[in-house]
Chains A and B, each alone.
Chain A
Amino acid sequence: MEKNLFNTKMGENDRWLTAHHDPLATLYTFSSCMALADLHGDGESKLIIADLGTGAYNMKLKVYRGTSLMSENTLIDLPTGVITFHMDTTEPRVPAVAVASGSYIYIYKNLRPYFKFTLPTLEVNPTEFDAWSQARDELLDVSMLYEILDSLRQEVGECGLTTRSQRFLMCPDHGSQATFLDQHKGFLLKRQTVVTCFSTMKKSHAEDDAISCLVLGTESANIFILDPEAFTILNSMSLPSVPVFLSVSGLYDVEYRIIVACRNGQIYTLKRGTKIGRPTAELTSQPVGLLRRDKSIIVATMDQNLHSFNNKGKRLWSLKLPTPVTCMETLEIRTLGLTLTALGMADHRVMIYRDKHLVDTIHTEDKISAMKFGRFGREDNTLVLVMKGGGLLVKILKRTARFEIEETQGPSQALAVKLNIPKKTKLFVDQTMRERENSVLMHRVFQHDLYRLRLNTARAYVQALETSSNPVSLSQTEPLKLSAQVLGLGPTFKLRVELQNTSSVSPSLQLAVIFHCDDRVYNVDKSYIQIPMLVPGIIHVAETLITCISELGISDTVRVFVVKGKASRPLLTAVINMPVAEVFMGS
C-alpha cells in the first residue's frame, strides 16, 4: 500500500524498482556509516547502519535484514564510520563489523562486542608534561599551572595541547580549576586523537573474503594501517592536513595506493613505502566526496563541480553541476561491466553519471543524506538511500536496465521550444496605421500637451514654494525636514511628527508645530507644540492625540505647520489625510 502510494506520487523510474520505503526510519547517518554484508553466512546480505541518533545521544548500530530491523546495539559515542571486513580465516566466513567512534574502534563479531582498539596516543609536549607532573607533586599551584599552560597555548596553539590541558584552560574560575586539577592530577597525561575517516585494505589476497587491514585517518593528520589479527599498527603515515575522505586500492603486502582528500582542499597519494603524502591535485573548493575508478579519481566539490583526475593529478575533465552535492557513491554493476557514479544532490534527486555523461536520474521526496550500493538481501544491485529527514529508501536495479550514453539533448530540446514573443493586437496595427497617417499632427499635439504639463508643474511648484506648503524646507536659513505618521485605529489617533534639521552646522531656534483641522471633525489635544533648539541631524519627535468627534464616519485632512517665532508664514507644511476611524466602520 505504502509502496503504491509512493509510486504514484513520485513516478517510477524505468530502471529502478522501489523495494522498500520507510519515511519514518529516523536515521541520521552518512555514506561512510553504512555497509552491506552477509553477516551470518546465510547468503543474505544485511544492511548495517551506524545511526548518529540525535547527534548527541541515542547512537545505535542498526542491522536491517530485508525490510525489517534485525538488531540494534547502543553506541557510546558518535560513529564516524562502519566497515565490514574479514579479520581471520575461521569458518564459516563471516565478516566482522568495525565501528570507528571518537578515539576508538569497536569490533563486533556476530553482532556481539568483541574488541575495542584505542588509537595510539600522540606525543605530549615536554613543557606540558613537566608542568602537570610538577602540579601532581604539588610543586606548582593552580594559577601557576594555568599561566604555564596558557603561554604554551600561545606558542603551540590549542590543538597542540592534551585534552586535559584544554579542558583545564576552559575552566572559568580558580575554584573549578583547582577541582579539576585535584580530580585529574593523579593520572597519566595522554594526548589522544580522533578517527575522521575509515576504510579497509586487503592484506595479501585480493579475494572478496580475504583478510583485510583497517585504514584510519585521524584528526592528527595521520593515516594508520592496522593489522586485523593482532590490532597493531602496521604502518603510520602523515599528511599536511586532516584527512576527510579515503580511497584505498591494492594489497598491503604487495602494492597499494591510498588517495586522501584533506581539509585543506588538496588530494594526496600514499603508496607502499611512503611516509608522507604526496600532493596529487589541488582543488579550488572543499571536496564533498572522493571516488576512485581504475585509473582516475572523481571528486565532487563544494562549488558544484565534478572533477576527474588521473592518478598523477592531471585533470581529465570537469563538469558543472546544477545544485550542491551531498554525497557520492560508486555503482559497480558487474552484470553490465559498468562502474557508474551516483551523486546525491541537494534538490532531491540522485544523478547517475557514466564518466561525464548523465545517464539516469532518480527523484526522491527528500534530500539524500547517504547512499550505499551493493548486494542487499539476495539482490546484487541495490541502492540504499537515507534521506535527510531520516527516511530509508531501497531501490533495486531492474535486470533490463541499461545505461547507454544518450546524445546530448540540450540544444535540440531547446529548439523545440518556441520563443516567447509578446503578441500584438489588431489595435496595435491600427494605431500604427493612424500614426503613419497623422504623424506630424500627433507629434505637435503631444509636444503641445507636454509643454502645458511642464508649465503646470512649474507653476504648482512655484506656488508650493511661495506658500511654504512643502514638507522639506528649501530656504538656506532654516533647512528642515518634516515627516508625519498617524498611529492607531481611531477614534483617537496619535499623530507623530518628526522634525530634522538638515543643515550641517547651524541649529534652529524658536520653532513650533501647529496642527490645524476642521474642529467639527477632529479635536486636537495639543494644537501648538513648542520645539526646543534643533541640533543638526538629530530627529525631534512631537506627538499629539487627535480624536475624531464627528459621528458621520468621515475622515478629513489635518495640516501640520512648522512656524518660526512670530513669523506669519509657516516654514513647512504637511497635509495629512486621516484614516477613517474604526468605531464607525463597526457600528
Chain B
Amino acid sequence: MNQHCHPMCMCLEGGRLGFKLVDHKDPLQVEDEQQWPRWLYGYSFTRAPGPKSKAPELQTVERRNWLIHLHYVRKEFDHCKQLIREQLEETRGMCEYANYVQGLILRQEGKIQESFELFQLCNILNPSSIENIKQMARALFLLGRHKLAVEAYLQAEDKLNKPDWELHHNLGVCYMHLKEYEDAREHLMFALEVNKHHQTFAMLARLYLLDNDIPSAINTYRAAIEYFPENGDLHTALGLLYMQTGKHQQAFEHLGTTLTFDANNTRAILAAGSMMQSHQDFDVALAKYRVAAQSIPESPPLWNNIAMCFFGKKKYVAAISCLKRANYLAPFDWKILYNLGLVHLTMQQYTSAFHFLSAAVNLRPTKGHIFMLLAIALTYLDDEENARQAYEQAISLEVRDPSVCLNYAIFLYNHDDKEGAVRMINEFEVRMVKFRQSTGADLDTEVIENGAKLASLLGVDGSAFCKKTSRTRLDAQDETAPQEKVSTTQDTLQPMGESLHHSPPPAPETPDELDPPEEATGRDTAVLVPRTHNPELHKPPTFVSEGDDSHGEHLASAHLQFQEEEPHVSNQGDAGEENSVNHKQNSDESFE
C-alpha cells in the first residue's frame, strides 16, 4: 500500500512533460486507491454496482477496434464480420471503425454498392475523416462511376493538408478511364513525386501506351527499374515493349533479369521462350515452357508455343497433340487454328488442314497468309478454281510478303497459265526488292532459289533473285543443313509433294501486351512452292470472297458439285526436278 501513494505524487510531475493531466491526477487514482482491495479480491467492482459515488462504467465505443482490425488484416473475415455484427448491435450501428471495416470486407467480397453505402455512413458519422471520403471515391471508381470518383477525390484533396500518394495515383487512374490523359499524367507524375510506387510507374507507362508513345513508356519502365530492380513484372513489361520495338537484345536482357529473380514468372517465360524459338533454340525454349506448364497448364498460348517447338524439332505428332490441346482451351484463337492447318499441311493431311484453315479464315478473314495456306490445301484437294480464288484473295490482303506471289506464280505455271505466272513472278520481284530495302535482310534462300528456277523456266530475267544470296542472314545459313536432310526424307514420303516455305512477314502485327507469345506464333507464314502434279479441275465453283464470314463455308459447299471428277495428274516430270522439296522447312521458319 505504501508503494501506492508513490504513483500519485509522481503523476503531478508527469504534467511537466507536456501531457495534459486534466482529471487524471486525483479523481481517478483516488478511486483506484479506494477500489484497490476489491480489485485485489477478484475485480468485481466494474460490473457490480459500486458505491454510490462511482459513475456507471461506460464501455468505450472504440474498445474493440484493434481486434476488428487485427482479424481484418489476417483475412479472418468470418470472425471479423461476427465481431462487427456484435459491435454494431451494441452501439446501434454508431461505431465508425466497425462500419469502415465492414465496408472493406464487402468490397473484398465484390459487393461494391453495399460497401459504398457503408462508407457513406462512416462519412456521416465522421465527416472530418479524409479516409472515409477516399474509400467512397474508391468504391465509386470500382463501380465504374469515374466522374463521381474524381469529384470525391478532389473533395478529399481539398481537405488534405499534405500530399498523398494514394489519392493522386487513384485520381490519375480515374482520369485515365475518363480518357483525360493530360490530367491523368499530371496526377500520376505528382503521385510519383510524393512517393515512388511500382503501381504508379506501371500505370504511367500504360498511359503512354494508350497514347502510342512507346519511347516514353520505355523510359518510365526504365525509371521504375531503378527503384525496383528486382520487380519481375516491371522487367517483363519493359522486355515486351523492347520486343515490340524490335530491340530483341534489350528485350532478352530484361526478360532474363525477370527470370533470375522470379524463375516462375510465366509471362516472362513465354516471351523469352518465343524469342528462343525464333532462334531455333527449341530445347532451351521447351525447358522454359516446362517450368511454365507447372503453373499455367491451361494456357492456350503456352501449348501453342510448345507445339511449335515440337514442330521445329520435327516431332509432328507431339505438335498436333499440343496444338489440339491449345485449340481445345481456346477454340476461337485463329493463330492456333492456323498452326494446326500448317502442321497438317506438313503431314500431308490436306483435308484436315483445310478444315482448320477454313475455321481460321472464318475467325480472321483479313489475314492473307491464311488464304495462301488455304490455297495450297485446295491445290492438293484438286480444287483448282477455289485455290485460284484463295490465291487472289491472299494477294490482295497480303500486299508485302513476296512469297505469296511466288506460290501463286508456281501454281499458275503448273496450271499452264504462263502469262499469269510471269505477271506474278514480276510482282514477286518487286515485293522482294521492297522487302530487302525495308528490312535490310534477305529472303530465305529456298524462296529465292525457287524464284530463280521458276523465272528461268518462264524465261524471265531472274538475276535479281541471285544477287543478294551471298548476303543471306546467318540463321538462314544455319538452316541449310537440316533442310537437305529433310528434303530427302520428304522425297520418299511424298513423291508429289509441294514445298512450303516460310519467310518472315516484314511487319509483324503489333503484339498484344498481355499475350506476347501469340504474336510470335502468329507470324508463321507459309509459302508454298508447288512443284509437281497439279490436278486440273474443270468445274469452277463459286467462291464468294466479299462476305466476311462466309469464305470457309462457301469454299466448303462449293466442292459438292464436282466430287466425281477424277484428279488429273499432269506435268509431273519437268517441274519436279527443279524445285527441291522443302516441305518441312516451314517449321524452321515458323517463329521468325
Interface residues of chain A, those whose CB is within 8 Å of chain B, are: 30, 52, 55-56, 74, 76-78, 80, 102-103, 112-113, 115-116, 118, 120-121, 123-124, 153-160, 163-164, 166-167, 169-170, 172, 183-184, 186-188, 190, 192-197, 219, 227, 229-236, 242, 244, 263-264, 275, 282, 284, 286-288, 302, 315, 317-318, 320, 324-327, 346, 388, 408, 410-411, 414-415, 417-424, 428-429, 432, 435-436, 439-440, 442-448, 450-451, 454
Contact = CB atoms under 8 A, between A and B. Distances in A.
Which residue of B67, B74, B264, B352 has the most chain A CB atoms within 10 A of its CB atom? B74
Given A432-B349, A439-B381, A424 B317 contact: yes
Contacts of A444: 559-560, 562-563
A452 to B, nearest CB: 9
B19 A236 contact: yes
Chain A at the B interface: mostly helix, strand, loop or mixed?
mixed
Contacts of B13: 232
Task: Kindly state the interface size class of chain B when it binds its partner.
Answer: 35 or more
B116 to A, nearest CB: 19
B382 A440 contact: yes
A164 B58 contact: yes
Contacts of B128: 155-157, 160
Interface stretch (B4-12, B334-342, B477-485, B503-511): B4-12
Contacts of B286: 419
Which residue of A167, A195, A287 has the most chain B CB atoms within 10 A of its CB atom? A167
Sort A-B residue pairs by CB-CB distance and give the 9 closest, nearest first. A157-B126, A444-B563, A230-B10, A187-B55, A447-B559, A232-B10, A232-B14, A196-B66, A414-B291
Interface in B296-335: 297, 306, 317-318, 320-322, 324-325
Given A157-B96, A169-B94, A439 B348 contact: yes
26 contacts: A78-B63, A102-B63, A103-B60, A123-B20, A124-B22, A157-B127, A163-B60, A166-B91, A167-B61, A170-B92, A188-B55, A194-B66, A196-B65, A219-B60, A219-B65, A230-B7, A244-B70, A263-B69, A326-B74, A420-B293, A422-B321, A429-B317, A439-B351, A439-B380, A448-B563, A450-B556
Contacts of B40: 112-113
B219 interface: no
Contacts of B189: none
Contacts of A229: 6
Interface in B1-54: 4, 6-7, 9-11, 13-14, 17-24, 27-29, 32, 39-40, 42-43, 46-47
Contact of A282 (B43, B65, B75, B195): B195
Chain B at the A interface: mostly helix, strand, loop or mixed?
helix
Given A157-B128, A184-B55, A244-B69, A411 B291 contact: yes
Contacts of A234: 14, 17
Given A74-B42, A447-B559, 20 more contacts: A56-B86, A102-B63, A120-B19, A158-B96, A163-B60, A187-B55, A196-B65, A219-B65, A232-B11, A233-B14, A244-B70, A282-B165, A286-B73, A320-B262, A419-B290, A422-B325, A440-B567, A443-B559, A444-B560, A447-B563
A501 B551 CA distance: 37
A184 B55 CA distance: 7
Interface in B546-578: 556-560, 562-563, 567
A265 to B, nearest CB: 8
Which residue of A164, A193, A230, A445 has the most chain B CB atoms within 10 A of its CB atom? A230
Contacts of B56: 183-184
A411 B197 CA distance: 29
A236 B14 CA distance: 10
B24 A121 contact: yes
B208 interface: no
A79 to B, nearest CB: 10
A446 B83 CA distance: 67
Interface string B261-283: 01110000000000000000000
A454 B58 contact: no
A287 B69 CA distance: 10
Nearest to A234: B17
B350 interface: yes
B62 interface: yes
Nearest to B58: A163
A347 to B, nearest CB: 12
B354 interface: yes
A316 to B, nearest CB: 10
Given A219-B65, A288-B73, A443 B23 contact: no
Interface of B: 4, 6-7, 9-11, 13-14, 17-24, 27-29, 32, 39-40, 42-43, 46-47, 55-56, 58-67, 69-70, 72-76, 83, 86, 91-92, 94-96, 125-129, 131, 165, 195, 197, 199, 227-228, 230-231, 262-264, 286-287, 289-291, 293-294, 297, 306, 317-318, 320-322, 324-325, 347-352, 354, 380-382, 556-560, 562-563, 567
Nearest to B306: A419
A567 to B, nearest CB: 38
A190 B91 CA distance: 19
B47 to A, nearest CB: 7
A188 B27 contact: yes
Contacts of B76: 326, 388
Nearest to B3: A115
A275 B352 CA distance: 78
A447 B61 CA distance: 78
Given A422-B324, A424-B321, A451-B560, A446 B351 contact: yes
A421 B350 contact: no
Given A30-B70, A410-B263, A447 B556 contact: yes
Contact of B43 (A113, A153, A163, A326): A113
Contact of A411 (B6, B263, B324): B263
A417 B55 contact: no
A419 B322 CA distance: 10
Contacts of A317: 230
Contacts of B263: 408, 410-411
A194 B20 contact: no
B125 A102 contact: no
A315 B227 CA distance: 9
